[in-house]
C-alpha cells in the first residue's frame, strides 16, 4: 500500500533560544504530552506532532536546536528549512530575555529574510524566583513588537493548552506565509 503525503499539511519550525530555557520540554510536551524534569543538553533533535487548525489536521515538524552559541552551523540548516521560527526565553531568566535581541534575532536575520515569521515565547511562566529576575508579560509584548514577531505567547509545560495554542499559531503563520508567497508568484506570472 502506498501512502500519499500531503506536503501542504506539513509545517516545519525551528525552536531556538538559550540553553535551559525549556525548549526541549516544550517540544516534548507538544509531541508526547509529557516532559521530564531532568535536563539533557540538546545539540539537534527533530520531532513531529499533530495539531488541528480550522478543522484540518497538520503535522508540525519541529527542529529542536542547541542553545549554545557555538552550534550556529547546525541551526542555520534549520532556519532555511523552517516555515516559522520560534524564539524562546525563560520568564525567570532575564539574561535569556536579553539574548533574544543581542544574539538570537540577529543570527536568524543574518540567514533568513524578514518575511519568515517569528513567534516569541516566554517559557517557564509558572516559575517565580526573585522578582528582579522575572520578565513581565508587558516586557515580553514590547520585545515581540521590537523584533517584529508575529505573535507573543506565554507557556508552561504544566499548561498543555498554552503549548497547543503555540503550535496552532505556528501552523496559522505558516499558512499565511505560504499564501503570501503564492500570491506574489501569481502576480509575477500574470505579467
* Domains of the chain, earliest start first: 10-181 (3.40.50.300)
**Across residues 121-142, what is the average pLDDT?**
85
The reported pLDDT for the residue numbered 190 is 54
Percent of residues, the chain, with pLDDT higher than 90: 61
The reported pLDDT for the residue numbered 7 is 60
| Residues listed for the chain | 191
Q: Across-strand partners of 48?
A: 61
Helices (H) and strands (E) counted in the chain, each on its own, are 6, 6
Residue (of 150, 154, 126, 152) closest to 141 by Cα position: 152
The reported pLDDT for the residue numbered 144 is 98
**Residue 121, pLDDT above cutoff 80:** yes
pTM score, whole prediction: 0.87
Residue (of 27, 31, 25) closest to 14 by Cα position: 27
Nine cell digits for residue 132: 528582579
Angle among Cα 14, 23, 88 to the nearest 5 degrees reads 70
Nine cell digits for residue 87: 524564539
Q: Across-strand partners of 13?
A: 62, 84
The reported pLDDT for the residue numbered 73 is 75
Amino acid at each position: 500500500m502506498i501512502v500519499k503525503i500531503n506536503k501542504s499539511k506539513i509545517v516545519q519550525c525551528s525552536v531556538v533560544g538559550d540553553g535551559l530555557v525549556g525548549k526541549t520540554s516544550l517540544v516534548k510536551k507538544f509531541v508526547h504530552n509529557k516532559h521530564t524534569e531532568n535536563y539533557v543538553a540538546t545539540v539537534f533533535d527533530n520531532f513531529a506532532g499533530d495539531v488541528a487548525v480550522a478543522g484540518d489536521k497538520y503535522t508540525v515538524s519541529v527542529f529542536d536546536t542547541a542553545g549554545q552559541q557555538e552550534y550556529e552551523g547546525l541551526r542555520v540548516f534549520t532556519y532555511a528549512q523552517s516555515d516559522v521560527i520560534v524564539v524562546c526565553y525563560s520568564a525567570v531568566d532575564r539574561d535569556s530575555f536579553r539574548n533574544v535581541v543581542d544574539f538570537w534575532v540577529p543570527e536568524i536575520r543574518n540567514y533568513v529574510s524578514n518575511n519568515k515569521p517569528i513567534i516569541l515565547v516566554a517559557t517557564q511562566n509558572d516559575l517565580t524566583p526573585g522578582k528582579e529576575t522575572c520578565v513581565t508579560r508587558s516586557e515580553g509584548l514590547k520585545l515581540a513588537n521590537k523584533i517584529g514577531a508575529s505573535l507573543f505567547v506565554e507557556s508552561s509545560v504544566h499548561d498543555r493548552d498554552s503549548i497547543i495554542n503555540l503550535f496552532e499559531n505556528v501552523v496559522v503563520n505558516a499558512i499565511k506565509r505560504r499564501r503570501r508567497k503564492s500570491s506574489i508568484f501569481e502576480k509575477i506570472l500574470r505579467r
